[in-house]
Amino acid sequence: RFSIKKQYKQLWVQNLKLSDAGIYTCEYGSNKVRTSLHIFKLTISLDGHFLQNEVPELILTQNSSSPLPDLRITLFDSNNNRVTPEVQSEDRKKYIVNLKKLEAMHSGTWVCEVHSDSPLIDQSIPFAVKVLGFQNPDLERKYATVDSTLILSWRLNSQKIKWKEGFTGQLNWKQQESANPHELLDFNVTAQGQLHETKKSNNFLFEIPERKPESTIEVKLPKVHFNHSGQYQCQLEYQGRHVQSKIELVVMKVSAKPVGPLSRGDNMTLTCQVSGPLPPNAYLSWERVNGTKKDIKNSERNEVKLEVNISVAGLWSCHLIEGSDRKISFHYHVEEAAVWTNYVIIGASVGGSLLVFALGCLCIISGTSWQRRRQRAKRMAQARQYLLENKTCQCQQ
């Protein structure tokens, strides 16, 4: 590891070790020149390969001729932002610091700056950090209406950081936090860094889109059902460690009672309902398109169902509003019954009433006639009985 370049009077040392630190003396004739070699060694846990939300441990070790200087350590992340680490221990020979939880955006080259006043030291040590994770928000919420088409997407940064080492994962779905999960698909990365997916569930209506960006896990719901709501969790596994990202799906449906055209003068109840709890700043709102402010009705906080009684046909819309952002809308067209239909209904009602009245009269007449025949038969029976009892005979001469 040591070589001397005489023409330059230089000593070359390759693959420095901590034990190489110390005082080096150069003798040339009667001249002697001494120089002090100070060596730093920087190591990072897990060889610099991390999953999202993991906390790296950084160890800085120094060696030199005694006494060892008191060091000040400054860290800068891959975006050149200063990071304040948590110093776990320091004894001048070894400094152990813990970084904060890593995110996918922290992948890249970090810099450790080492400072000392005596002796004067200003040393910058670069080191690589790779963070495999999701570029989605921590807890993403998606909204959909019944019978619509929806694609749920998880974006990985494996291509961005050129992560070609093997990892596996799976995508699970469950309707509630406490419910049993159902595995929809599992996936792994090939030697070329490409994702390979396998569909697992046969009881759930979903598809794996063919065309999609690289390093993206996608699930397509071609026709959303109300019971498709719940948590969709995508989980990565690397060397026995896990990281996951959740998407909460909230589904909206609208129903009418009674169903059908709205006749003039009648009322109809429209019900708008969502499948899960809403954020504190979210609410439901009914309105009639091109209507007035009187046709607007908003839900109270934490309400997941909103009903509105209407007497006017037209296009009615239920909106899910979060803050000032309208997330989804469900349009329901209420048809107005035709005029002739109203006349038919009125005629049928009047005709039905007359028919009932006629049937009632017929029943009364039939009942009266039956009662008279019964009384006449009773009187004839009494007369026959009277003749038999008196044994009356009539003789003709």
Q: Name the residue with higher pLDDT: 378 or 79.
A: 79
Q: 258-334 belongs to which homologous superfamily?
A: Immunoglobulins (2.60.40.10)
Rounded Cα distance between 256 and 121, Å, is 77
Instruction: Tell me the whole-structure pTM to 2 decimals.
Output: 0.74
User: pLDDT at residue 305 above 90?
Assistant: yes
pLDDT, residue 153, reads 94
The correct answer on CATH 2.60.40.10 for the domain covering 140-251 is yes
Give percent above pLDDT 90 in the chain: 46
Fold of 40-132: Immunoglobulin-like (2.60.40)
**CATH 2.60.40.10 occupies which residues in the chain?**
40-132, 140-251, 258-334
Give percent above pLDDT 70 in the chain: 84
User: pLDDT at residue 247 above 90?
Assistant: yes
Q: What is the mean pLDDT of residues 36-48?
A: 93
Check: CB of residue 335 under 8 Å from CB of residue 295: no
* 313-362 per-position pLDDT tens digit: 889 999 999 988 999 999 999 998 765 444 444 555 555 666 666 676 66
pLDDT, residue 196, reads 86
pLDDT, residue 345, reads 47
Give me the chain's average pLDDT, please.
85
pLDDT, residue 385, reads 62
Assign 93 a pLDDT band (cuts: 50, 70, 90): confident
CA dihedral 76, 79, 84, 87 (to 10 degrees): -60
pLDDT, residue 84, reads 84
CA distances from 279 to 142, 145, 151, 171 (A): 12, 18, 22, 25
Element (H, E) at 187: strand 182-189
User: Environment class of residue 121 by beta-carbon count within 10 Å: exposed (0-12), middle (13-18) or buried (19+)?
Assistant: middle
